[in-house]
Amino acid sequence: MNERVTTLPSADYGYGISQEQRHKVLRNTYWLLALSLLPTVLGAWIGVATGITQALRGGVGMVVFLGGAFGFMFAIEKTKHSAAGVPVLLGFTFFMGLMLSRLIGMVLGFKNGSDLIMTAFAGTAGVFFVMASLATTIKRDLSGMGKWLFVGAMVLMVLMVLMVGSIINVFVGSSAGMMAVSVAAIGIFSAYMLYDLKQILDGGETNYISATLALYLDLFNVFQSLLALLGILGGERD
């Protein structure tokens, strides 16, 4: 029996990818994204429990974070078409959990730290739900957003690195400055989330490992920024 493959005509924006292929990429991306949260949680827990990342301050923290993150992303790009791609991606999410543990440890120092973490998690899930809903309803091509979002992300990059490499500044440094950075990051990476989801739905991204990496980074940055913002605004000290 011949299998019918349905492709969208002019609304396809020239990608020529069947609906079935798109749904497969989206389904595999969602499964791998959910799986990637487990190493992240494990890495964060180990980091908080052992304090292994506490020495990563200032320039040392920046070098470790940038070197590790870009090293893993380079490896993911090289292995995304092979069986090694998924383990490398999961290794990256474990590393990101370790890097996140310093911020989580700071927030847990508040009396209501656990509540703030759960609120940030729920808020991030809410952002993802809204962006996923928008991605399925918006019919226009959003590929032009990419260059503007990239510029915005580059502007924030150094400041986001400081949030990881010198996280102590989030709570004892310029609160107004960190609030502005956090709000801007939430906006930019929420928009990036919409853009990345649309790329999958429109057939612009056909590799589920690359798609997972993009969405994971969006979620990570939204969660980190939201948690920092909640810590500044709502952290209760003993």
Cα separation of 116 and 105, whole Å? Answer: 12
φ/ψ region of 224 (left if φ > 0, alpha if ψ in -120 to 50, else beta) reads alpha
* Mean pLDDT of the 66-77 span: 89
Q: Which of 43-52, 56-65, 112-121 has the lowest mean pLDDT?
A: 56-65
Please choose, from the candidates 108, 106, 111, the residue with its C-alpha nearest in 3D space to the C-alpha of residue 238.
Answer: 111
> pLDDT grade, residue 155 (50/70/90)?
low
Helix axes 208-234, 85-108, angle to 10 degrees: 0
Percent of the chain clearing pLDDT 70 (strictly above):
77
More reliable by pLDDT, 25 or 65: 25
Domain ranges of the chain: 17-233
Mean pLDDT of the chain, nearest integer = 81
Q: For residue range 100-148, list pLDDT tens digits in order.
A: 998 898 899 888 889 999 999 999 999 999 999 998 898 877 776 766 7
Question: What's the pTM?
Answer: 0.84
- CB neighbour burial string for 148-176, b if at least 16 within 10 angstroms, e if fewer: ebeebbeebeeebbbbbbbbebbbeeeee
> pLDDT grade, residue 161 (50/70/90)?
low
